[in-house]
Amino acid sequence: MLDETKISKAIIKTYMDKLVNSLNIDVAIVGAGPSGLTAGYYLKKQKPDLKIALFERKLSIGGGMWGGGMMMNEIVIQEEGRKILEKFGVETKRFEEGYFTADSIESVSAIALCTVKSGVRIFNAISVEDTIIEDNIARGLVINWTSALDMGLHIDPLALRAAHIIDATGHPCEIAHLIAKKGKKLFTETGGITGEGAMYADEGERIILKNTREIFPNVWVCGMAANAVFGGSRMGPIFGGMLLSGKTVAERILEKN
């Protein structure tokens, strides 16, 4: 006879162990779009002993990749992005010289599976609502249930400490905004957030790796958030830059360590 209370206990205990083990970690990633997932994967690949947790506001991970372009579920990548996608086991097709396509469903599923299997702990349906900042150095994240925030419930959050934080929140670059809103200066020309530029795919894909960097002590930015912070262009449904930016932020964090 199945005991319903054992099913409940198994879920509650296993989940809580996972969460408690994520309260003091090496890297906390915010946002499970293509750049955040890729960043987690490459960090673990290079240094398997790192403790990494990724927090995603939505129930589903994958961010803006599922929808391809205008909900046509194909994405475009160039040669360098194709190499990363193929490492994840995704089949790519040559469209024309320099342009490859991949099924967006296959891409998200493969990246997500590789990232989970690498040992990155993913917490979905949890939003990052603030950061811990001590003496002008970021030390961790403040988290809450997305559902509680959506309902406007007055529920105090919980917090965790992390040696590094990655803002992989895409267009809204939410972690950068949270820090700037507290009156803190970012490592940008103005000390603030420039906001992303209009669409210019070639520039957006080129500049994203330069923009993938530390923006505040212990806070790094990757993916679309990197261009949003530094005024880089948007690029539409071409995703190589997101994958390369995730890989690059992992490399830059490891170089600094």
Residue positions forming the annotated binding site: 35, 56-57, 64, 128, 154-156, 171, 224, 234
Q: Measured from the CB atom, is 42 or 239 closer to ligand 48H?
A: 239
Q: Measured from the CB atom, is 133 or 168 closer to ligand 48H?
A: 168
As to burial, measured by CB atoms within 10 angstroms (0-12 exposed, 13-18 middle, 19+ buried), residue 152 is exposed
Alpha-carbon distance of 136 to 217, in angstroms, equals 7
Min CB(124)–ligand 48H separation in Å: 9
Min CB(5)–ligand 48H separation in Å: 32
DSSP state of 238: B
Return residues touching ligand 48H (CB under 6 A): 30-36, 55-58, 63-65, 127-128, 168-171, 174, 199, 223-225, 234-236, 239, 242
Min CB(126)–ligand 48H separation in Å: 7
Q: Measured from the CB atom, is 64 or 81 closer to ligand 48H?
A: 64
Annotated binding residues for glycine, written as ranges, equal 234
* CA distances from residue 115 to 38, 45, 118 in whole angstroms, order as listed: 7, 9, 5
Structure tokens at 248: 């690059």
Min CB(201)–ligand 48H separation in Å: 8
Q: Measured from the CB atom, is 40 or 51 closer to ligand 48H?
A: 40
Is 90 within 8 Å of 107 (Cβ atoms)? yes
As to burial, measured by CB atoms within 10 angstroms (0-12 exposed, 13-18 middle, 19+ buried), residue 192 is middle
Q: In this structure, are strands 213-216 and 219-221 parallel, antiparallel, or unpaired?
A: antiparallel
